[in-house]
Amino acid sequence: MEILKLLPKTNCRQCNAPTCMVFAARMAEGAKAPEDCPALDREHQKRLAAYMERFKFD
């Protein structure tokens, strides 16, 4: 849910996910990165990247 809070919640599908919720789930799995969301502004990309650094994905 923290990931979703930082997304624009436009459900624009520009990231090839049907909704921002699906995009957030894919980020939680390590399959997507903040820069994969075209609708996300630079500031929110930085915040989301900082949040995701807490987790290690292999």
How many domains is the chain built from? 1
In a domain, 11, yes or no: yes
Q: What residue type is assigned to position 30 of the chain?
A: G
Query: What is the per-residue pLDDT for 56?
Result: 74
CATH number at residue 26: 1.10.15.40
Residues with Cβ within 8 Å of residue 15, at least 6 apart in sequence: 23, 32, 36, 37, 38, 39
pLDDT per residue as tens digits for the range 6-58: 999 999 999 999 999 999 999 999 999 999 999 999 999 999 999 999 887 66
In a domain, 58, yes or no: no
Query: What is the per-residue pLDDT for 57?
Result: 64
Tabulate helix, strand, coil % of the chain (nearest 5). Answer: 50, 0, 50
Query: What is the per-residue pLDDT for 6?
Result: 94
Look-up: residue for tokens 């995701």? 52
Range of the domain at 21: 2-52
Q: What does the block give as tokens for 41?
A: 């502004």
- Our measurement of the distance from residue 41's CA atom to the centroid of its chain's CA atoms, rounded to an integer in Å, reads 11
In a domain, 23, yes or no: yes
- Length of the chain equals 58
